[in-house]
Structure 1
């Protein structure tokens, strides 16, 4: 622990925290109504970033500018505001493509979250292509967004679903993966970083294995795109998805990346305005990518906000973001693992994403979360949308602390202090 404390933060913490006014809040008072209460006493320690990150002033300013200066629908008017909004919306696609190493805007579909991105592929590709005898391979640590979606599509199509084992240390069993991914493979859908275990999946190896057997691979990047450099071309993934609200952006926007030739071969998932080229009473034809998959009025303001969030993150540098996350995750893992009555889940602290899930012996995760809240510490408690994984590790729920660019070791120390208090209370 001593050497860890000597490491300098990769990020200028005071400068970054100054961009997040919410971190100045006091909490602990009346929670029946939103906003500060006269009884609020504790500084907010926000450690629930794997669920939703906070939003910097740059992103709020970009949203405000849109609504105050050029609020309009896109691709539907020739007036000045519509033209400005259309350009900003299209450029947001370009910015996302650049951020993840895609070839261009044609490969970037805006959805409302990672879950919708997963459903888009499952319905538009899966229902059309899967059939009895085909195999869909997931991992045992999949988020429900992947697990439930492919499970239900497989029931409709007669395809088989198999799960790559996770070993006792939280790593993906790649030997088992090689057994499951054979010539029957149609789709492999795996999480890049587990939102419960913090495990970083060897996605490049899985992509190569999948393609060798003629299948497609879908990588759930909800926890990776916000926290480390992502290059979809280097991964050679066919699909990749993530959400804006986990990476400083607004809620209500997700991204689906797909290789252009695959997206062009797929039928639309939603029908209506904006995604059509020509409509008659007898038939319709579809717009070019990416608009073919963006039916109706799209997520205009959210896309502009996501653009601003990406600019903010890249000003810091994604390598720097990753280094900061890994420093905090290792520190938190070491601090919590030092207690005999605390069980942590997943790989060691130096080999994980920026989160630690744990349980305090004899205390339900929800009770522990409630005590931590009394100390101003905001964490997640529950199954984290990974019920089958929690069944596998033999607990109904866990407590999860997750970190981002504005968090500090001192906040983790406060987390540990609050865990100590819970221990005393339930002794």
Structure 2
């Protein structure tokens, strides 16, 4: 793989108008910068072609409805969904998980049932299940990690019982970059009769995802991690599950017929999309998928893997730096500088035009398991290159000099 990178590194920085020369943006795991193609799609959507969807009989509304539903088909093809009707547009992965927690888990769980999470989950894949458990009387179990920071699937196999009704796991850790064998996790969940939800926020920007091949029941992600706009995300669910779930919210668009005596609901996905949707957000997501697939997810993964290897090798050579997570982490390098708070690390790096994330990364249980309050995290995207790794390493060397 390193040979491929040496011969053909990605050279797309010029596509990203918000990244000025000399600025090393290494916070893609928090949110990605947007290529000009996405900016243009959003500008056209609000400028030349804007109208509402699903309601108007005039031509522009009909055209925008076609474009909106074309985005749904594009997403379905992107993740291997059987039909576009399995794609629900939401505000982001957080809302998608809450939707499943409220409309599936709260309906299905009962006292004595159990939910299985892992130690590395984002708060958005913990708190909604806690709320569902409190409502239903179910309990939560936590799968441990391997020594290098992966979800321990051997432990998962031994921990799962027929009392477990739901398993919810991250495809790629937002802190450690460790990649889940999602297919095996799905098989283990189904072996005991549980459903499984996969949080794909950090996976879809860099790994080819096929929900049919994975075999999961729900898959969620946010557009803004995928070089698309904020405020829109995706819930994919198996059609038979979505069809049995009640609505998440009431209002326009999600209905079949309303009277004061009784209301009937539209079939999925409309049932879960109450109100006027984020129309232009869907267009931006469509453009973002076109962009990453135009480059090729395999190329993106190889490119980012090479940057991770370089960063880990060079940071690991510094005596005061402790690296976290596996050697083959996907696009993310988390670390601590001994004796220096990660916020101080990030502040000093920012003085040198290097932007990283510092904190608990919405994963406080993982921080506790790692024995730290916070970490520094550098995360890569298609626009990063060797110069960004160089700037990061020089910045950390400066940190060590300042703090002795």
Residue aligning to 2:232: 253
Residue aligning to 2:77: 98
Describe the SS at the equivalent of 1:55: coil
1:79 pairs with 2:58: yes
Tell me the distance in 1 between the aligned counterparts of 2:246 and 2:64: 27
Describe the SS at the equivalent of 1:167: coil
Tell me the distance in 1 between the aligned counterparts of 2:317 and 2:165: 44
1:357 is displaced (CA, Å) by 0.5
Is the CA contact 1:97–1:103 (under 8 Å) kept in the aligned structure 2?
Answer: yes
Describe the SS at the equivalent of 1:252: coil
1:175 is displaced (CA, Å) by 2.3
Tell me the distance in 1 between the aligned counterparts of 2:113 and 2:210: 29
1:155 corresponds, among 106, 110, 134, to: 134
Show CA shifts across 1:123-150 (max 9, x none): 0011111111111000000000011111
Show CA shifts across 1:333-387 (max 9, x none): 1111111210111111xx2210000011110000000000000000000000000
Residue aligning to 1:40: none
Describe the SS at the equivalent of 2:248: coil
Output the TM-score relative to the length of structure 1: 0.93
1:197 is displaced (CA, Å) by 1.0
Residue aligning to 2:155: 176
2:183 corresponds, among 191, 198, 204, to: 204
Residue aligning to 2:392: 415
Distance 1:353 1:132, change over 3 A: same
1:23 pairs with 2:2: no
Which stretch of the first structure deviates more once superposed, 187-196 or 313-322?
Answer: 313-322
Describe the SS at the equivalent of 2:19: helix
Residue aligning to 1:135: 114
5 Å matches for 1:198-237?
A: 198-237=177-216
Stretches of structure 1 that go unaligned for 5 or more consecutive residues are: 26-42
1:390 corresponds, among 367, 375, 396, to: 367
Is the CA contact 1:10–1:320 (under 8 Å) kept in the aligned structure 2?
Answer: no
Tell me the distance in 1 between the aligned counterparts of 2:368 and 2:108: 32
Residue aligning to 1:33: none
5 Å matches for 1:6-405?
A: 7-8=5-6, 10-13=8-11, 16-24=12-20, 43-348=22-327, 351-405=328-382
Tell me the distance in 2 between the aligned counterparts of 1:389 and 1:9: 38
Is the CA contact 2:10–2:303 (under 8 Å) kept in the aligned structure 1?
Answer: no
1:171 is displaced (CA, Å) by 2.0
1:167 is displaced (CA, Å) by 2.5
1:168 is displaced (CA, Å) by 2.5
Distance 1:9 1:64, change over 3 A: farther
Tell me the distance in 2 between the aligned counterparts of 1:208 and 1:223: 21
Is the CA contact 1:383–1:398 (under 8 Å) kept in the aligned structure 2?
Answer: yes
Residue aligning to 1:34: none
Name segments (4+ residues, structure 1) moved above 6 Å. none
Tell me the distance in 1 between the aligned counterparts of 2:134 and 2:8: 47
1:9 is displaced (CA, Å) by 5.9
